[in-house]
A and B are shown apart, each in its own frame.
Chain A
């Protein structure tokens, strides 16, 4: 059992003083983000938190107890909103740590016996440290969730299938082609082949820095799947150094049409689909 301290009583009686001092501290902190958050909002959050804190602390300072749940839920809310606003972990945690000084001040004024004073200050500082660390952890978790979501969105965004011409699709790949990415790429491409009834798709790997056996295998699988849907593939963007490396690796791309540039691939695709390209009269006279 923890020793009964005066903290509970003091926060209840000195509520207004603490709130004012605390808001003052936050407004003067170097970590304040006036650009991201309004003063009125900060004041409102502080008032609500202090209310919940005062209530919980009446029953003890073990934040693992269910009585602390409303406090933690509220911290969860404000942490989430601060992560989205772009606060750093320390800027978010300042909300809790800046409450230390105002609490210390009122405790020091209220507790006369040195022994009791030490006990009260100790309880308060460990309690706030725990809550502060809790906020830091939440902040981290939230950031990871946000980053994960952004990565997934990026995955979708970075694999757009574009229609170049009637019957011709192009899939410009950029970056690392890992297994997760290949899955998305392949699904997008097959989907678009069905939607458009395209005969040829050009997979352009100009933006893929390294073609190792895994990337090669993924490309070959995509080509095979497209073929099953009735579309032929041309792989373009095979630079000379990539071509050499693929040959040394021993990867056999002889079953697939490959071209150095997307433009070359496009010309081949036009021929195969029966379209012809001629220079217009205007270009001829100019050139």
Chain B
């Protein structure tokens, strides 16, 4: 698998979330994603960036443009050193929220991508990796 581009962006403010959305859209265009694929990965990125900021107290996202044979993809890895998620199964349920959101960000973004991987340790932080292939 070849990495065509690999960059890291901070997620410290709501402006950064807007930036993450813009960059994800740009890179999705660069990878010649269809409009539907673009919208799906951008929306998932928006959800996870907001979780990183709101629940993880800020962190960063690594964005990678990948190529495997004729397949092109985008991988985003969100990392924070926040409180972590005590019960992952619960957090991944539709409607579960510890804040006042809809509780659809995690479960919803999982449905919007091809690969989804989450690691979390209480008191240490959370890492969420997603990838979408065209």
Contacts and interface: CB of A to CB of B under 8 A. Distances in A.
Interface of A: 176, 178, 209-214, 216-217, 240-242, 244-245, 248-251
A210 B94 contact: no
A248 B36 contact: no
A240 B34 CA distance: 12
A177 to B, nearest CB: 11
A242 B35 CA distance: 10
For the complex, would chain B's binding face be called helix, strand, loop or mixed by DSSP majority?
A: helix
B72 interface: no
Given A178-B14, A212-B50, A250-B108, A245 B101 contact: no
B112 A245 contact: yes
B112 A214 contact: no
B14 A248 contact: no
A249 to B, nearest CB: 4
A214 B25 CA distance: 18
Q: What 8 A-B pairs come out closest when comparing CB atoms?
A: A249-B108, A241-B39, A212-B46, A248-B111, A241-B36, A213-B104, A213-B102, A250-B104
Give the dominant DSSP class at A's interface: helix
A178 B47 CA distance: 13
A157 B21 CA distance: 24
B118 interface: no
B21 A249 contact: no
A240 B105 CA distance: 20
23 contacts: A209-B21, A209-B25, A210-B43, A211-B43, A212-B43, A212-B105, A213-B101, A213-B102, A213-B104, A214-B101, A217-B101, A217-B102, A241-B35, A241-B36, A241-B38, A241-B40, A245-B39, A248-B108, A249-B47, A249-B104, A249-B108, A250-B94, A250-B107
A251 B18 contact: no
Interface size class of B (residues with CB under 8 A): 20 to 34
Given A217-B101, A242-B39, A245-B112, 17 more contacts: A178-B14, A209-B25, A210-B21, A212-B43, A212-B105, A213-B105, A214-B46, A216-B102, A241-B39, A244-B39, A248-B40, A248-B108, A249-B109, A249-B112, A250-B108, A251-B102, A251-B104
Contacts of B66: none
Contacts of B42: 209-210
Contacts of B105: 212-213
A213 B54 CA distance: 14
Contact of B108 (A213, A217, A242): A213
Contacts of A212: 43, 46-47, 50, 105
Given A214-B50, A244-B36, A249 B18 contact: no
Nearest to B54: A214
A264 to B, nearest CB: 20
A210 B107 CA distance: 18
A240 B43 CA distance: 14
Interface string B57-69: 0000000000000
A211 B40 CA distance: 10
Contacts of B104: 213, 249-251
A249 B39 contact: no
Interface in B1-60: 14, 18, 21, 25, 35-36, 38-40, 42-43, 46-47, 50
A250 B94 CA distance: 8
Given A213-B105, A213-B108, A245 B43 contact: yes
